[in-house]
Amino acid sequence: MSLVTDSGELAAYCQSFAKYPYVTVDTEFLRETTFWPKVCVIQLACDDHAIAVDALAEGLDLSPFFELMANENVVKVFHAARQDIEIVWHLAKIIPAPLFDTQVAAMVCGYGDQIAYGELAQSICKVTLDKSSRFTDWSRRPLTDAQIDYAIADVTHLRDIYQALRQRLERSGRLHWLTDEMASLCSAETYAQTPERAWERHAHRARKPRDLAVLMELTAWREHEAQSRDVPRSRVLKDDIMFEVASAAPRTVEALGGLRAFPRGMERSRAGAEILAAIERGLARDPKSLPKIERDRRSGGGATVELLKVLLRQVAEKQGVAAKMIATIDELELLAADDHADVPAMQGWRRELFGAKALRLKHGRLALTVENNRVVTLEWHEAQDEEQPAAGESTPA
């Protein structure tokens, strides 16, 4: 057990970590009462050291940690890296690189979609992690020995997981498959909390252009308010209430206060006035300038989407890759509607593995059948060899 609370000690450890080819990283944080995650503990490990850093220790300077995260000679290994990276980005505007996310690597190695760290430790390291501290309050001090041991275990087993997965990827020639995912995780745009784009998470709730216009202004206002006050979005205005306001678009204090779900008295507060101003801005938007409201893409291609799902599952099982790593359902819907859809499934190794087959399936050049209770693909020339009817012919009754 090694808990670091001193700036000098942290600097010494980080200098030592910088001499190794990789460092495993994890964080423990709280977010229930804030907009931005509050980091409480940072864990680091290399081949010879493993430490937990008390990020809340009085006077602790985290600069050596941030310098290590920016060191391009050291691979930073995370499991499910996005939230951890968001913390580093928010605190220091640094994105750890180069990066290796073991959850993504596990998907490429056939461990399924978004496998949990504990499951991966059980499968690769043959250890069962102690979960007793999983839901602990990491902001309370002093930290217990059990908490520190739990935290450090998250990065010590990660060393073996990283080495095992990397070796498998190198042997299979699939290491480059992680490139796109790591590029996304290393992009500052991934972590940008831009108020003007907050509406994108809720665009599906808009039925009319007017609703969308008001929703765009309301979500931008709520996002800015939540960030500036550092409180969860729901503390500012809950989603359901926001959608009701966007749909009704009240223009007076009385009409706003008359909405069934709207908090009593809030209509006469500063927030109420700002909400009414946001509604006015939304109503003043030119409908022609609004993003197009997407309708259900499946309405005209449901059967094609279902076939593509079967093909995706067949390819994923055959190749030992998580289906989600190859394509998402949204991508299948886009692909069903457009052969030239700009989706990852139609690029690079995904196209070679799945995308090209998907197009052949759409155009009758590939069939799906069942052999020994397993779905298999049947190429057009194979169908000809087996004297299947050609296009336009029918099978005799």
Q: Is 321 inside a domain boundary?
A: yes
CA triplet 127, 133, 139: central angle to 5 degrees?
140
Among candidate residues 160, 190, 220, the one where a domain is terminated: 190
Q: Is 112 inside a domain boundary?
A: yes
**Contact call for residues 21 and 69 (beta carbons, < 8 A):** no
How much is the pTM? Answer: 0.82
Same domain, 71 and 112: yes
Among candidate residues 221, 254, 289, the one where a domain is terminated: 289
Q: Is 394 inside a domain boundary?
A: no
Same domain, 144 and 37: yes
User: In this structure, which amino acid lies at residue 2?
Assistant: S
User: How many percent of the chain have pLDDT more than 90?
Assistant: 72
CA 370 remoteness from chain centre = 34
Q: Is 397 inside a domain boundary?
A: no
Question: According to the model, what pLDDT value does residue 301 have?
Answer: 65
Q: What are phi and psi of 273, to 5 degrees?
A: -65, -40
Same domain, 282 and 347: no
Sign of CA dihedral 143, 147, 153, 155: negative
Reply yes or no on whether the pLDDT at 217 is more than 90: yes
Reply yes or no on whether the pLDDT at 368 is more than 50: yes
Per the prediction, the chain carries an average pLDDT of 90
Q: Is 141 inside a domain boundary?
A: yes
- pLDDT band at 181, cuts 50/70/90? confident
Reply yes or no on whether the pLDDT at 352 is more than 50: yes
Among candidate residues 266, 289, 312, the one where a domain is terminated: 289
Reply yes or no on whether the pLDDT at 382 is more than 80: no
**CATH number of the domain enclosing 366:** 1.10.150
To the nearest 10°, the Cα dihedral for 321, 325, 326, 332? 130
Rounded to an integer, the average pLDDT of 249-272 is: 96
Higher pLDDT among residues 372 and 146, named by residue: 146
Same domain, 45 and 92: yes
Instruction: Please tell me what DSSP assigns to residue 268.
Output: G
- The CA distance from 346 to 331, in Å, is 9
Rounded to an integer, the average pLDDT of 222-237 is: 96
- pLDDT band at 132, cuts 50/70/90? confident
- pLDDT band at 150, cuts 50/70/90? very high
Q: Is 105 inside a domain boundary?
A: yes
Same domain, 141 and 9: yes
Rounded to an integer, the average pLDDT of 144-157 is: 94
> Which regions of the chain does DSSP assign to beta strands (E)?
3-4, 22-30, 38-45, 50-54, 75-78, 99-101, 366-371, 374-379
Higher pLDDT among residues 389 and 50, named by residue: 50
Same domain, 241 and 211: yes
Same domain, 208 and 105: no
Q: Is 392 inside a domain boundary?
A: no
Reply yes or no on whether the pLDDT at 34 is more than 90: yes
- Altogether, the residues listed in the chain come to a count of 397
User: How many percent of the chain have pLDDT more than 70?
Assistant: 93
Higher pLDDT among residues 135 and 85, named by residue: 85
Q: Is 335 inside a domain boundary?
A: yes
Rounded to an integer, the average pLDDT of 113-131 is: 91
Q: How many domains does the chain have?
A: 3
- Provide the token pair at 38: 């509050």
Residue 346, domain extent? 297-385
- The CA distance from 188 to 184, in Å, is 9
**Tens of pLDDT along 266-308?**
999 999 999 999 999 999 999 989 988 765 444 446 889 999 9
Same domain, 156 and 239: no
Reply yes or no on whether the pLDDT at 14 is more than 70: yes
Q: Checking phi first, is residue 283 left (phi over 0); if not, alpha (psi -120 to 50) or beta? A: alpha
Higher pLDDT among residues 386 and 381, named by residue: 381
Same domain, 15 and 122: yes
Question: According to the model, what pLDDT value does residue 391 have?
Answer: 42
**Contact call for residues 124 and 160 (beta carbons, < 8 A):** yes
Reply yes or no on whether the pLDDT at 229 is more than 80: yes
User: In this structure, which amino acid lies at residue 3?
Assistant: L
**Tens of pLDDT along 301-326?**
688 999 999 999 999 988 899 998 89
Same domain, 253 and 305: no
- Provide the token pair at 293: 């409201």
Question: According to the model, what pLDDT value does residue 294 have?
Answer: 66
Encode burial over 280-297: b for 16+ CB neighbours within 10 A, e otherwise: ebbeebeeeeeeeeeeeb
Helix, strand, coil share of the chain (percent; to 5): 55, 10, 35
CB-count exposure of residue 106 (10 Å: 0-12, 13-18, 19+): buried
To the nearest 10°, the Cα dihedral for 383, 384, 388, 391? 100
- pLDDT band at 393, cuts 50/70/90? very low
> Long-range pairs for 163-167 at CB < 8 Å and ≥24 separation?
164/124, 165/102, 165/105, 165/106, 165/109, 165/124, 166/100, 166/105
**Contact call for residues 253 and 272 (beta carbons, < 8 A):** yes
**Tens of pLDDT along 45-83?**
999 999 999 999 999 999 999 999 999 999 999 999 999
Rounded to an integer, the average pLDDT of 245-257 is: 97
Identify the helix (H) or strand (E) that includes residue 242: helix 239-248
- What are the distances in angstroms from CA 111 to CA 56, 101, 179, 369? 36, 14, 18, 26
Rounded to an integer, the average pLDDT of 235-243 is: 96
**CATH number of the domain enclosing 50:** 3.30.420.10
Same domain, 52 and 134: yes
Same domain, 232 and 250: yes
**CATH number of the domain enclosing 239:** 1.10.150.80
Question: According to the model, what pLDDT value does residue 295 have?
Answer: 58
